[in-house]
């Protein structure tokens, strides 16, 4: 449906709904439930140079209106993603996919993106400088403008594909980091990743998850995400991919009004595996309710008041 389509860094999406990395695996499992080609695209599981087992268990803690996770970038490593996961995906998903990449050094990021660059199905790189669940990498790059810019430049040098930098909300000035990434050659900004949180078990009097702290996600963080998407989209000239607490068609439209070109859905997939499908199907109804003809027309609309 043309009224739902958007353009993300030069690539057309049939709609702006994108399952977020870490909540959709490599897509194959969800393809057994419904035709995932109805999605705009999706961001596949965070991939690193080497295979990672992830953090010790328990890794998940429930919260009011959300959850905390500390999975720790568990993945089979870039070589296995290329040799096993992408061929399986190609059988069930016939659009460009977003490759989510993480690392523990600038060289790691560049190596993994260079490896994936020749894969035809990859449309964008979503470079995660914001994971709060690993030590010595991830978020440590995303909390400093120059560090984030270094990663951006390194990835920009090894690919001609669009590079979208995924930022952490666990900072005091998200705008300065986004602008540094833009200046270093980023084609887009993706935000927000999870907030840093924890739970304590009253019986054991110890943190619930083995990592002590983890990423807080779910509906409770939507207002924070909207605020940061609004701030960043008003400060940069490149597209913003918004996420954080999105669980309905109304949330998607709110994110787009804040300035998002595309909208990722994360924790909602873990609660309801049909969440993205239902959101896409409901978008025309909500658009009609609020007098919206085309979604592209409302991007950043909240800035025009």
Q: How far apart are CA 275 and CA 268, in angstroms?
A: 6
Q: How far apart are CA 265 and CA 248, in angstroms?
A: 9
Burial level of 121, CB count in 10 A (0-12/13-18/19+)? middle
Residues assigned a catalytic role: 131
Q: How long, in residues, is the chain?
A: 305
Structure tokens at 148: 């984030």
Q: How many CB atoms lie within 10 A of CB 2?
A: 7
Q: How far apart are CA 3 and CA 228, in angstroms?
A: 26
Q: Is 12 left (phi over 0), alpha (psi -120 to 50) or beta?
A: beta
Q: How far apart are CA 112 and CA 101, in angstroms?
A: 7
Mention every residue, 6+ apart, whose C-beta is less than 8 A from residue 219.
65, 66, 245, 247
């Amino acid at each position: 449906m043309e009224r739902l389509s958007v353009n993300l860094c030069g690539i057309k999406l049939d709609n702006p709904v994108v399952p977020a990395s870490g909540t959709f695996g490599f897509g194959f499992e969800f393809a057994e439930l419904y035709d995932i080609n109805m999605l705009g695209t999706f961001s596949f599981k965070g991939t690193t140079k080497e295979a990672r087992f992830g953090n010790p268990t328990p890794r998940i803690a429930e919260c009011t209106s959300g959850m905390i996770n500390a999975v720790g970038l568990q993945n089979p490593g870039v070589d296995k993603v290329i040799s096993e996961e992408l061929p399986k995906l190609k059988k069930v998903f016939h659009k460009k996919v977003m490759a989510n990449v993480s690392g523990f050094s600038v060289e790691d990021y560049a190596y993994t993106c260079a490896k994936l660059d020749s894969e035809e199905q990859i449309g964008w790189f979503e470079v995660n400088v914001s994971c709060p669940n690993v030590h010595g990498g991830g978020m440590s790059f995303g909390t400093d403008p120059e560090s984030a810019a270094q990663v951006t430049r390194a990835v920009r040098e090894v690919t001609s594909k669009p590079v979208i930098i995924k930022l952490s909300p666990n900072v005091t000035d998200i705008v300065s980091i986004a602008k540094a990434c833009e200046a270093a050659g980023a084609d887009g900004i993706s935000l927000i990743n999870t907030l840093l949180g924890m739970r304590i078990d009253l019986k054991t009097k110890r943190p619930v998850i083995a990592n002590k702290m983890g990423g807080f996600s779910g509906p409770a963080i939507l207002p924070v995400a909207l605020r940061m998407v609004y701030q960043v989209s008003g400060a940069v000239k490149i597209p913003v991919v918004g996420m954080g607490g999105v669980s309905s068609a109304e949330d998607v439209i709110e994110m787009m009004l804040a300035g998002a070109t595309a909208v990722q859905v994360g924790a909602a997939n873990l609660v309801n595996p049909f969440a993205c499908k239902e959101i896409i199907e409901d978008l025309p109804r909500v658009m009609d309710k609020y007098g919206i003809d085309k979604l592209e027309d409302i991007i950043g609309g909240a800035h025009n008041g």
